[in-house]
Amino acid sequence: MQVVKAEIIAIGDELLYGQIVDTNSHWISQELDLMGMKVVRKTTVGDNRKDILTAFAEAEKRADLVLITGGLGPTQDDLTKPLLAEHFDCEILEVPEAVEAITAFFKRRGREMTPLNILQGHLPACCTYVPNEVGTAPGMWFERNGTYWMSMPGVPHEMKKLMKDFVLPKLPSLFTLPVIFHKVIKTVGIGESWLADLIKDWENALPEHIRLAYLPSLGHVKLRLTGFGDDKSQLEQEIDQHIKVILPTIGKYVYGYNEETLETAIGKLLKQNGKTVALAESCSGGYISHLVSSVAGCSAYYMGSVVPYHNQFKEKVLGVKAETLRNHGAVSEETVREMAEGVRHLYGADFGLSSSGIAGPDGGSEEKPVGTVWISCAGKGFTEAKKLQLTQDRMLNIQLTGVAVLNLLRICINQNNK
């Protein structure tokens, strides 16, 4: 089978000056890889006529698919559109449909347009207009000499929407892609090397055509199984069979598969069990509430939160006893237990969760250094608490506390169900 070659061209001075990290190219690479396409080159060039035209010309010689991000803003330094018109040798004309879509976009937002915005609806005559529902710069699709091109805005959520809605679904009709099946096992509460040690015999016994990759990220480790073959459903069955074999060993760390996040998994668990949750966040300052409430439909199980950032409100709003705070301090097992129980009571929820710790960079002591965090989960007839010893980095401590609190809830729900 012929390898289908893709190139990514990212355009913008801000990428070359190091002011922005190009996360777009990374995301595109992952998506194309999942479809069995091979990204053979990524190029970043600035807002410079000659550099952009050279990048276009070089890519056209090599690639079957060229994906371009950036340089589509309404201002003068945005060159992608006129240079695509030049590269493909065609005029820029008004596309009434595009102008209408942009006008409607501004109307929906209740904002007024400028003449520059209207010009965003003028496109090279040789491209196919691809509507951008979440922004003002349209996508543009080109075809020439067997190479397909897509130009997209550099704003990540706009680019992703155009990729997901238009480009990715189109690829199987344009190219003969190999059959690949991926399944990702999501684990939490175990480090990468520990997990590797636990599953090494199973890993070594996997057949040649099934590959395993460890993808660690903040408090999680993802195991990606990739199968290569002729028949997708057969690969899927085969991979599920291998997962079935390893689950008795790692099952207690597994919270989901593929796109599932810890917060969507928690939501599912709560819904299935008809349970509700409320949060009292001190050091995590609203971060966990944000995770929980970022899931669509969370109102079925999320009651609400209190962030009692100062101790007096742990007492006033949550009913933590003054003597508990006095005797043990805010960062203590006793306090997080009372916080979890207090917020559970306040919101009449089945589970109450809490966090209290020293996020840093200041506020640590010898006894309780920066990174010391207590978390708790209270439910009917029980209150679990756990101490974490995290890092020197404030944001990392907040994020790792989030993972630990949600994982504690997951464990409590599962134990409760036994």
Interface of this chain with a second copy, residues 225 to 254, rule: CB under 8 A: none
CA gap 234, 238 in Å, rounded? 6
Q: Residues 296, 300, 301, 306: is their CA dihedral positive or negative?
A: positive
Q: Do 330 and 282 form a contact (C-beta atoms < 8 A)? A: yes
Q: Do 317 and 246 form a contact (C-beta atoms < 8 A)? A: no
Q: Which residues contact 206 (CB under 8 A, 6 or more apart)?
A: 212, 225, 242
**Interacting residue with a second copy among 1, 2, 89, 110 (CB under 8 A):** 110
**Interacting residue with a second copy among 60, 74, 103, 268 (CB under 8 A):** 74
**Interacting residue with a second copy among 11, 45, 63, 385 (CB under 8 A):** 45
CB of 96 to a second copy, least distance (A): 20
Question: How many angstroms from the chain centroid is the CA of residue 96?
Answer: 35
**Interacting residue with a second copy among 176, 233, 296, 418 (CB under 8 A):** 296
Site map 312..351 versus a second copy, x via CB under 8 A: -x---x----------------------------xx----
**Interacting residue with a second copy among 95, 235, 262, 303 (CB under 8 A):** 303
Binding of a second copy at residue 214 (CB under 8 A)?
Answer: yes
CA gap 151, 46 in Å, rounded? 16
Binding of a second copy at residue 407 (CB under 8 A)?
Answer: no
**Interacting residue with a second copy among 215, 245, 247, 322 (CB under 8 A):** 215
Rounded to 5°, angle at Cα 201 from 215 and 33: 30
**Interacting residue with a second copy among 80, 132, 264, 305 (CB under 8 A):** 305
CA gap 25, 332 in Å, rounded? 44
Determine the size of the site formed for a second copy (CB under 8 A).
106
Residues 258-287 that bind a second copy (CB under 8 A): 279, 281, 284-287
Name the pairing type of β-strands 277-281 and 351-357: parallel
Closest CB to a second copy among residues 48, 147 = 48
CA gap 401, 403 in Å, rounded? 5
Give the CA dihedral 216, 43, 16, 127, nearest 10 degrees: -110
CB of 86 to a second copy, least distance (A): 19
CB of 313 to a second copy, least distance (A): 5
Q: Do 53 and 87 form a contact (C-beta atoms < 8 A)? A: yes
Binding of a second copy at residue 27 (CB under 8 A)?
Answer: yes
CA gap 358, 374 in Å, rounded? 9
Binding of a second copy at residue 49 (CB under 8 A)?
Answer: no
Nearest to 12 by CA among 56, 48, 61, 39: 48
Interacting stretch for a second copy, rule CB under 8 A, among 92-100, 143-151, 387-395, 409-417? 387-395
CB of 350 to a second copy, least distance (A): 14
Residue 314 in tokens: 């742990």
Closest CB to a second copy among residues 27, 129 = 27
Closest CB to a second copy among residues 20, 126 = 20
Interacting stretch for a second copy, rule CB under 8 A, among 35-43, 245-253, 332-340, 408-416? 35-43
Q: Do 152 and 163 form a contact (C-beta atoms < 8 A)? A: yes
- Residue with the two structure tokens 């699709």: 141
Binding of a second copy at residue 194 (CB under 8 A)?
Answer: yes
CB of 78 to a second copy, least distance (A): 9
Binding of a second copy at residue 2 (CB under 8 A)?
Answer: no
CB of 10 to a second copy, least distance (A): 8
Residue 312 in tokens: 């007096």
Burial class (CB in 10 A: 0-12, 13-18, 19+), 343: buried
Closest CB to a second copy among residues 404, 418 = 404
